[in-house]
Amino acid sequence: MTTETFSNISKIIERDSKFTTYKFALLRGVIDIIQDNSPYIVVKENEVEIPLGLLIEKWLIYYYPLFESELYIPQINGKNSRNAFHEQLKQIIEFYKLRGGISVFYNEIRTKNISFEINQHFFILTRKIKDTITQMPMRYIGGSISEGEYPIFKYRAGKPVRNTTQQNLHWMIKSFGYFTIPKEYYEAFKILGGFLAGRDNILFKWAEFSVGASKISARKQKLSTEKALHEMLKGPITEREISNSKSHYKDLIKSNGQVHCVWTGETISKYDIDHIIPFSIFKNNDLWNLLPAKPAINNRKRDKIPSPEALNRAKDLIIHYWELICLKQQDTFLDQVQISLLGNLPKDNWQIDSFEQLVNTSKYLIGVRGYEGWRI
């Protein structure tokens, strides 16, 4: 990784085509996947492979609130211009509007299957987003620093995408092939991606684009950068979702008799449900990331990352609770573990492999991204 890499990234953000927001969505999505430390990422000698399905999921979550918003937040310059997949995504939004909105949609993608009634529309939508990503921003991004097509991103298609009644993130990962980026860009996104995707760069410039496009659109309204950012930063998991998940988790472990604090091993009657990796950092509300903790210990930990030492000390209890929850909600639990911790690894030895990835994530968040570590 050299200063030239950072210079190239800056040129891409500032100079590459600004006709649509696709460039921003591509960069933001790739950075978010890398910052998530996805287990599906494969690092090779000179390049890094990432499933395109992970990026399609990011685009669904980025554009859903923008298309759902009562504000008109244009994503393409020009009067009456619309995204290539606008109509397909609007059909999905209308379907889920009376069924819980983006939270239910996101949950079905991650741990269940898309509702059968909207299955065909989702199939068409994901293929449309795949074509948009691979034929537009991936094809031209980097044009300000290199001639020719696909100078940075390389797409490798998988087998022909087939419709199925079971459409979820697993299906997307297996169906849409993968793309590669040079290893030096991966390292740059891994270390400084949070700054690149933050207010002063990709996200802010995406909002600025929408404001500028709104001024030349056929609609008469006053859109500000702040209003656009507010809509863009809406996530699929709400405070209510977090609260419901914690209540649900408590119900699952009540039948187990004694409850032990995962960090101290003490028997406890009153306890908090703690996110192992804080939600404020990891935005993950999966069952594997929820564990019972003594309130005083949980308050001390707060938004810190448990160190590898703390995790190894609590290893037996962590795996104990994982196995307990798995017995009660096997399909949901193992689906969540596969996406967040196992990746392409088989489920045969899921306890040990998942725990090792959890420790690796701790090392990454503390050592690379600079979050504060926590010891008991």
What was the pLDDT predicted at 359? 98
Q: What is the longest distance spanned by two Cα atoms in the chain?
A: 66
Residue labelled with tokens 């408590």: 250
Give the residue from 15, 4, 315, 259 showing the smallest Cα distance to 144.
15
- pLDDT band of residue 47 (cuts 50, 70, 90) is very high
What are the tens digits of pLDDT across the range 71-102? 989 899 876 678 899 999 999 999 999 999 99
Q: State how far the Cα of 179 lies from the Cα of 49, in Å rounded to an integer.
A: 6
Q: State how far the Cα of 114 lies from the Cα of 272, in Å rounded to an integer.
A: 32
Dig out the tokens for 301 from the structure.
Answer: 């930990």
CB atoms within 10 A of CB 254: 9
Q: What average pLDDT does this structure show over 249-264?
A: 86
What was the pLDDT predicted at 80? 67
Question: Greater confidence, 159 or 316?
Answer: 316
Are the beta carbons of 183 and 44 closer than 8 angstroms? yes
Per DSSP, which regions of 272-352 are E strands?
272-275, 290-293, 305-306
What was the pLDDT predicted at 15? 77
What are the tens digits of pLDDT across the range 262-281? 999 999 989 999 999 999 89
Give the residue from 239, 206, 237, 263 showing the smallest Cα distance to 101.
237
What was the pLDDT predicted at 218? 64
Q: Strand pairing of 47-51 and 42-43?
A: antiparallel
Question: Greater confidence, 200 or 161?
Answer: 161
Indicate the Cα dihedral angle 22, 28, 34, 37, nearest 10°. -120
Q: Is the pLDDT of residue 60 over 90?
A: yes
Q: State how far the Cα of 162 lies from the Cα of 325, in Å rounded to an integer.
A: 33
Q: Is the pLDDT of residue 322 over 80?
A: yes
What was the pLDDT predicted at 293? 95
Conformational region of residue 259, where left means phi above 0, alpha means psi within -120 to 50, and beta covers everything else: beta
Dig out the tokens for 286 from the structure.
Answer: 């999966």
What is the torsional sign of CA 118, 159, 135, 26? positive
Q: State how far the Cα of 337 lies from the Cα of 244, in Å rounded to an integer.
A: 19
What was the pLDDT predicted at 197? 61
Q: Which amino acid is at 320?
A: H
Exposure string (b/e) for 167-205, b if CB count within 10 Å is 16 or more? bbbbbbbebbbbbbbbbbbbbbbbbbbeebbeeebbbbb
The predicted model scores a pTM of 0.85
Exposure on the CB side of residue 41, measured as CA atoms within 13 A: 22
Residue labelled with tokens 């496009």: 213
Q: Which amino acid is at 151?
A: P
Q: What average pLDDT does this structure show over 19-28?
A: 92
What was the pLDDT predicted at 369? 86
